[in-house]
Structure 1
Amino acid sequence: MAQNDRTAFVMRDRSWHPRPYAPAYKTSVARSPQQALVSLQTPTASELTGPDFDHFALGLYDNDLLLNFRPGTEQDGLPIGERLIVYGRVVDQYNKPVAGTLVEIWQANAGGRYRHKKDAYRAPLDPNFGGVGRTITDADGWYRFRTIKPGPYPWPNDVNSWRPAHIHVSVMGPSISTRLVTQLYFEGDPLIPLCPIVHTLDDPDAVDTLTARLDMAAARPMDCLAYRFDIVTRGALQTYFENQS
C-alpha cells in the first residue's frame, strides 16, 4: 500500500490488541465475542468521511475541568486535588495531524469517585468538580485540558482489585469509522502492572501507548504539572482502544 494513500486502512496486528476472552478481567467475560471476528475489507464512503466540527460551539471552560462545573473565577471554589495540564496530538497512521476533531474526556475526582449515580465508592463527591470536558484539535492536531489528577479506586474484579489513576478519552478521528475510546494512565503509577484490564494486553509496547508522560517543560511553575498523551487513531502504531478488543 502506498504511503501517500491517506484513506487506506492498515491491517491491524491482532497480537497488539487484548485477547477476546480474558477470564481474569471478570466483567468482560459475558461480553467476549462468541463468534469469529469480522474485518472490514473495503471501507464505504460513510466510513471514510467524518463529521465537520468547524462550526461546533464550545463553551469558554469546556476544556478546563477546574472551572467548567461551577463556571466563575478561581476564587469561587476550585476542585480538590493535584492540578494538571493534559495535552498531546491526535495523528493518523502516517503521523499526519487530525485537525478539527472532537476530543472528550471523563474521569473520577481526586478521591477516586465519579459523579455518577451508580458510583457507590465511599470517597466523597467534590462539589466543584464535574469530571467531564471536551475540546477540538487545532490545525496541527493538538489538544489541551486543565484538570486534576484522578484518584485510584477499588472495583469488584476480585477481593482487592484497584484501578490505577486514569482518564477516559474519546476521539472522533478522521472519519466515522475511527471514533474510538481509550484511557490514559500516568507514568510511574505502581498500580498499572497490577491492573487486570492492563493484563489483557500481552505486548508491553501496547501498554506504553496508554501511558501519559510527565513533561516538566509544559508544566506551569507554582501552578500545575503537565502530562503529554499523543493519540494515533489507527494503523500499525495506533494507540490501544478499549472498544477495539
Structure 2
Amino acid sequence: MKKGIVLVAAAILSACTGGVDDLPLTGTDVASGAIIGGTIDEGDPAVAMLRISPAGEGTSNPCTASLIAPQVLLTAAHCVTPDKIKGGTVKAFFGTNADGEEGTWVNVVETHYDPEYDHANKRAGHDVAVAILEEPVAIQPLPYNRAPMTEDMVGDPVRLIGFGDDHEIWGFAGVKHHVSTIVNTVTPTLLGLGDEDHHTCQGDSGGPALMDVNGVPTIVGVTSFGGSQVPSICTDGWHSRVDISLDFIDQFVNAP
C-alpha cells in the first residue's frame, strides 16, 4: 500500500422495520438513497460515498462506505460485485456533498466481497465488501463490532448514516445524512433498524449502522436492502451483521 496521506471527510446511514421473511427486496442494489427522517451530517468524516461507474455506460451509481483502516473501506457486497462495476471505475468521496466544492475524491484500486454473500438470498446476510483506496487517508477509522449480537439489543439506540435519498421515492443522492433510531429486530444474519419514519433508502447501501460499544461509536451493521410493495419506494432497511463476517474483513484490515 502507498504511504501518501490524503486529508478527507465523509459519512453514511440506514434503518428498517417489519419481519424479514415478509419483505420483498427493493432496488437498493442500484443506488441506495438518502436517510429517511434524518438531517444533513457535516461530521462523521470516516463515512464516504462510493461512485461506481461501469465501463461504457456513461452513468454512475452511488453507495456508502465506512473507513475501517487508513486504506480500507467497508461497504456492501452488492455495490461492488463484478457485474456492477463491469470493468469501470470506483471512487470514494470524503465530505458532506459530493456535488459541492469541498471534499476529497480518492481512487479505489481493488474491491473484494465476502465469499458467503449470495445475491439471490440477501436475507442470508454477508452482504459485506471492502474497497481498497489508492492511498491512505488521514481520518480516524471507525471500529467494527466483534461481539455476537442478541435479541436483548432490541430497543437499543442506533445511528444510521448514508448518502442516499432523504424521501421515500428514489431521487437525488449525494448528500450525507444521518438519523438516530432503535434496533427493532436481530436475526442470526441481519439487523432490522429504525421505524416507519426513520430508515435508509436508495444510495445508503453499504453505509454503517452505529451503536455505542463501551462509549465508542462502532459499526454493527452494513446497509443491505429494504422492503416495499412498490419499486423505488423506500419503506425500511435491513443491515448485514458485521460480526458474522469478521474472518473476511480482518484479512484486509490486518494486511501489511
Q: TM-score, normalised by structure 2?
A: 0.28
Q: TM-score, normalised by structure 1?
A: 0.28
**Which of structures 1 and 2 has the larger relative contact order (alpha carbons within 8 angstroms, sep 6+)?**
2
Q: Which structure features the higher share of strand residues? A: 2
